Structure 1
Amino acid sequence: MLNVDEKIVGVLGATSMVGESLLPLLTQAGRQVRAYSRQVVNKSCENVVWRQLPPASSDSKPGLPISLLGGSKTVASAASGFSMDAPENIKYWLCVAPIWVLPEYLNFLEHHNARRIVVLSSTSRFTKTDSPDPEERIAAHRLADAEERIRVWAVSCGVEWVILRPTLIYGRGRDKNISEMARFICRFGFFPIFGPALGLRQPVHVADVAAACISALQTPGATNRDYNISGGETLTYKQMVCRTFAVLGRRPRLVKVPIGVFRFALACLRMLPRYQKWSVAMAERMNKDLVFNHEEATRDLGFKPRPLVLTAADVPSR
């Protein structure tokens, strides 16, 4: 039987795609949720208390524990921009916001007496390190840097940590992968590919990611570890696109585009806000294997991801 403190779980990034899947799983498990978001959320959910996360100030010192700031709650408050009045004791935390924002809130977590934290990162920290796109290389560096800063902070504060790195996440019609494919197909009636598009992928459903987060939170043997979590099926990029056509009720229409034409078309597409982050590097990766073993997560966390069987709930409503 969990005591009151053990029932409470703080969630950072509660309005995110993974956060939306997490909250009902936590309440079903008998947890009392403190759901944090940078936005004001007006929702009424049983056993979920919504709170607005205050922004970190520009002069914050992310990653420095209170003890290194002179041991003073007042000093920590000034350094981090947080109100330190009457903190609630929240020992367990799940961070499903972008991992690179978490170092800005480590003092906040320490002030709430965090003792264990599960953080969502991404396998992109490995797959984009040698990307020809400088923005992607920067993103990979930010992921790796945030992971290291969290580890250093956790060790210095005696906080147990687990880092989960999912592969390509899909589901709920909110992801930037299969859902974006579906939007493109619905808008233009085809999907462009570069070369044979035979690079291997392991899409992982958002619900499986959420379940892995909860398992990592409550598995004592999984402490101070990082895990790669991938989908239950390995398929080619081309097959993934074809399944997206299928769930939309459309016959696959894939158009092979030479890289030169792709560059020109991309320059035009990026004039539209939705496609501003598309890059040539994304096209080149269509023929690169992005495969990660999740045996350790299966062994320690009971992680059993589903194969890629798309439903209407996984893509945006039309």
Structure 2
Amino acid sequence: MNILVTGASGFVGKAVVAELVRRGRTVAAGSRRGTDLPGAPGVRLDVTDPASVLRAVAEVQPDALVHLVGIIAEEGEQTFARVHLEGTRHVLAAAPRPVRYLHMSALGADEASGSGYSRSKAQAEALVRESGLDWTIFRPSLIFGPGDDFFGRVLRDLVSTAPVVPQIGDGKFPFRPVSVEDVALAFAEALERPDTVGETYELTGPQEYTFRELLELELGALGKRKPIVPVPLPLMDLMVPAMGILPKPPITRDQYAMLKAGNTAPPERARDAFGLPMRRLPDALPGILGR
């Protein structure tokens, strides 16, 4: 099977490519720079440019497409609509028929969401379901692993910068983080399981945490002891938009909306379908944080 992976140079992309290569698959690593990865030659592929996608597909002639491209925050022309929605449209239009298609969405994808990220992910899902391809959609929760942005940067900065740790509201928003290794395994296994065609799987980890518990885990893994101070939501509602004037705000409006919504779902369906080992966040945090 000849496989083209979009977003191959990203955090999840590298893990998925590595797992596919480990299984002896022929993989082309699609990214805007066409970066080679171990065992997978690079192919220039910019999902926002339909001609670029067509060229990559013509070059690789894939039997399977794994579409992973995504952004967490908008920057310039890289908007959620352009990357998630139009990018998916371009990939689907270029996909050869027949082709096996795996799609990275997100837990909480919802066209009625207050988050532009979650809305665009839901809109892209709708395109996939209408495509006529043999598709499988994955909706991961927060993904952890070496090189991740949330636990390795956002949460680390949040608990490290000030003498006290700010907590959003009562800190009870629930999350069920999933390891990047489990996500990669799910994608690789789906290509070997025809019964997963036309299915949507929520990818979550073995344990649910509140936002406060995530802050406490991060502090513990860093070897820090600091007071955690709740910040009332009405005050956060004022502070977060004001932070938007900063070159790189610690939290965007969209990330704030997603945090308040929480991010959790039962793990059993995906675990049983793909035989996932369900790696635990506390075991991985020291490595993520370089300790």
Compare CA radii of gyration and give the structure with the larger one. Answer: 1
Correspondence 1:50-199 to 2 at 5 A: 50-54=42-46, 56-57=48-49, 82-83=54-55, 87-98=59-70, 99-100=84-85, 101-110=87-96, 115-126=99-110, 129-131=112-114, 136=115, 138-153=116-131, 155=132, 159-176=133-150, 179-199=153-173
Mapped to 1, the partners of 2:188 and 2:255 lie a distance apart of: 34
Mapped to 2, the partners of 1:182 and 1:308 lie a distance apart of: 14
RMSD over aligned CA atoms reads 2.9
SS at match of 2:190: helix
Mapped to 1, the partners of 2:271 and 2:171 lie a distance apart of: 29
Give 1:55 deviation, angstroms. Answer: 5.5
Structure 1 unaligned spans of 5+: 1-5, 61-76
Is the CA contact (8 Å cut-off) linking 1:178 and 1:244 kept in structure 2? no
Task: Give the counterpart letter for 1:95 in structure 2.
Answer: H
Give 1:165 deviation, angstroms. Answer: 0.4
Mapped to 2, the partners of 1:12 and 1:146 lie a distance apart of: 15
Correspondence 1:1-318 to 2 at 5 A: 6=1, 8-41=2-35, 43=36, 45=38, 47-54=39-46, 56-57=48-49, 82-83=54-55, 87-98=59-70, 99-100=84-85, 101-110=87-96, 115-126=99-110, 129-131=112-114, 136=115, 138-153=116-131, 155=132, 159-176=133-150, 179-275=153-249, 278-279=252-253, 282=256, 285-286=259-260, 290-309=263-282, 310-315=284-289
Task: Give the counterpart letter for 1:116 in structure 2.
Answer: R
Please list the CA deviations of residues 136-195 of structure 1 after superposition, one character each: whole Å capped at 9, or x if unmatched: 1x3333212211111211x1xxx3110000112222233235630102222334321133
Task: Identify if the C-alpha distance between structure 1 residues 268 and 249 changes in structure 2 by more than 3 Å, giving closer, same or farther.
Answer: farther
Mapped to 2, the partners of 1:24 and 1:56 lie a distance apart of: 25
Is the CA contact (8 Å cut-off) linking 1:10 and 1:94 kept in structure 2? yes
Task: Identify if the C-alpha distance between structure 1 residues 229 and 104 changes in structure 2 by more than 3 Å, giving closer, same or farther.
Answer: same
Task: Give the counterpart letter for 1:82 in structure 2.
Answer: L
Structure 2 unaligned spans of 5+: 71-83
Give 1:277 deviation, angstroms. Answer: 5.0
SS at match of 1:211: helix
Please list the CA deviations of residues 71-110 of structure 1 after superposition, one character each: whole Å capped at 9, or x if unmatched: xxxxxx7xx8834896443101211112432211223222
Task: Give the counterpart letter for 2:265 in structure 1.
Answer: F
Mapped to 2, the partners of 1:269 and 1:30 lie a distance apart of: 47
Is the CA contact (8 Å cut-off) linking 1:222 and 1:301 kept in structure 2? no
- Counting matched residue pairs gives 276
Under a length normalisation based on structure 2, what TM-score does the superposition of the two structures give?
Answer: 0.82
Structure 1 range deviating more: 30-39 or 181-190: 181-190
4+ residue runs of structure 1 moved beyond 6 angstroms? none
Is the CA contact (8 Å cut-off) linking 1:231 and 1:305 kept in structure 2? yes
Task: Give the counterpart letter for 1:200 in structure 2.
Answer: P
Is the CA contact (8 Å cut-off) linking 2:15 and 2:180 kept in structure 1? yes
Mapped to 2, the partners of 1:192 and 1:85 lie a distance apart of: 47
Is the CA contact (8 Å cut-off) linking 1:246 and 1:252 kept in structure 2? no
SS at match of 2:3: strand
Task: Give the counterpart letter for 2:209 in structure 1.
Answer: L
Mapped to 2, the partners of 1:245 and 1:10 lie a distance apart of: 39
Q: How many percent of aligned residue pairs carry the same amino acid?
A: 22
Is the CA contact (8 Å cut-off) linking 2:218 and 2:285 kept in structure 1? no
